[in-house]
Amino acid sequence: MRPLDVLYVGPISGTCLDRAHAMRRLGHRVTHIDLRRWLPATVWVDRVIWRLGGHLFGRWLAHLVRSRLAGQRFDLVYVDNGECVSPAVVHAFHQLAPKVVNYNIDDPTGGRDMRRFLAYRKALPFYDLVAVVRQENVAECQALGARRVMRVWRSADEVSHAPRAVTPDLKTRWSSDVLFLGTWMPERGAFLRDLIEMGVPLTIRGSHWQKAPEWPVLAPHWKGDSIAGDDYALALQCARVNLGLVSKGNRDLHTTRSLEIPALGAMLCAERTSEHLQMYTEGVEAVFWRDARECAQQCLDLLQDEPRRQAIARAGHERFVANRHGNQDIVSQVLQESVG
């Protein structure tokens, strides 16, 4: 594929920034803008987006797109997420480029975050291509008027999720036996409480765990809020076992952790789902479970068999590479489908 001039639209942080960097590594010229930064820096804007919908800022953002990017031309506008991108904004983007595509790893047509993604759903008929990560999203986007929909896997980043050199000091700081790194959700508190009560030496890192009804049990195992960058990578890499929990509200059958943990050469112990079983050979490249009791037994067995644990972690990393689930692989698929 020839190098493209791409207007990349999405947060200039986190996994979105990783994907923009992946596009640059592929040789494309990327201009990255964050529409949220063009709105007032107040929590009330975020509350409006989450509770009422980003379409309410659509005409304002469309005006800003036309005025701030006047005179510029791109081969493609690549919208990552699009919770603030209304039909008016897509029309403004079409004045800058012949193709406007959307890529979204959330569940924008599911039931959990309906108002948040109202702008996204209204804009679906006006995109040239929509990329989603759930099979259910394909038919739902088509029913809402999307003209072309492709389904892709989530991805880990070739740089951000590459294994680090771990010094003894780093090992001491970040080591854990069994780690869950992620945000509290209602179903997760009871699950982790059960693991603790069955003797699993658990470490929890992430946001909002104080909301859990099970907090009195979880609190001694909680080691801090969400982390990013090297700290995030080192925490996963230095854990002997990493739990992979899916979000029921988001209809997940795999998550970004399903890729990031093996990408880092770490041990994945995840819920047994149809997609996890497609991604990794059970017991060889990852370990799976159906409930807390089986999860606890898997964790305790792995902690007692270090050669097996290391062998599965190595094989999982090799399978991640073979599956081509890196950002550059997935971005290439979407771009090829967009302009091919």
Distance CA 189, CA 89 (A): 40
**CATH number, domain 5-155+326-339:** 3.40.50.2000
- In order, the DSSP letters of 156-220 are B-TTTTSPPP--HHHHHHH-EEEEEES---HHHHHHHHHHHHTT--EEEE-S-GGG-TTHHHHGG
Is the separation of the CB atoms in 200 and 178 below 8 Å?
yes
pLDDT in tens, 295-331: 999 999 999 999 999 999 999 999 999 999 999 999 9
| 9 has pLDDT over 90 | yes
* Closest to 137 (Cα-Cα) out of 19, 55, 252, 10: 252
| 95 pLDDT tier (thresholds 50, 70, 90) | very high
| 240 pLDDT tier (thresholds 50, 70, 90) | very high
| 111 pLDDT tier (thresholds 50, 70, 90) | confident
| 91 has pLDDT over 90 | yes
Mean pLDDT of 73-79: 98
pTM above 0.85, yes or no: yes
Mean pLDDT of 332-337: 96
Distance CA 199, CA 184 (A): 21
pLDDT in tens, 266-306: 999 999 999 999 999 999 999 999 999 999 999 999 999 99
Dmax (CA) for the chain in angstroms is 63
The percent of residues in the chain predicted with pLDDT above 90, rounded, is: 94
| 258 has pLDDT over 80 | yes
The owner of tokens 């081509």 is 324
- In order, the DSSP letters of 49-112 are HHHT-GGGGHHHHHHHHHHHTTT---SEEEEES-TT--HHHHHHHHTT-S-EEEEE-S-TTSST
| 13 has pLDDT over 80 | yes
pLDDT in tens, 199-229: 999 999 999 999 999 999 999 999 999 999 9
pLDDT the model gives residue 113: 75
Provide the terminal-to-terminal Cα distance of the chain, rounded to the nearest Å.
9
Residue type, 315: A
pLDDT the model gives residue 112: 80
Q: How far is CA 195 from CA 166, 258, 291, in A?
A: 28, 20, 10
Is the separation of the CB atoms in 254 and 229 below 8 Å?
no
Is the separation of the CB atoms in 134 and 253 below 8 Å?
yes
pLDDT in tens, 139-168: 999 999 999 999 999 999 999 999 999 999
Q: Give the homologous superfamily in CATH for domain 168-323.
A: Glycogen Phosphorylase B; (3.40.50.2000)
| 259 has pLDDT over 90 | yes
Distance CA 37, CA 248 (A): 30
pLDDT in tens, 113-149: 778 999 999 999 999 999 999 999 999 999 999 999 9
Average pLDDT score, the chain: 96
| 197 has pLDDT over 80 | yes
Q: Note whether 5-155+326-339 and 168-323 share their fold.
A: yes
pLDDT the model gives residue 248: 81
Is the separation of the CB atoms in 256 and 156 below 8 Å?
yes
Mean pLDDT of 21-26: 98
In the chain, where the domains are located? 5-155+326-339, 168-323
pLDDT the model gives residue 338: 93
DSSP state for residue 221 in the 8-state scheme: G
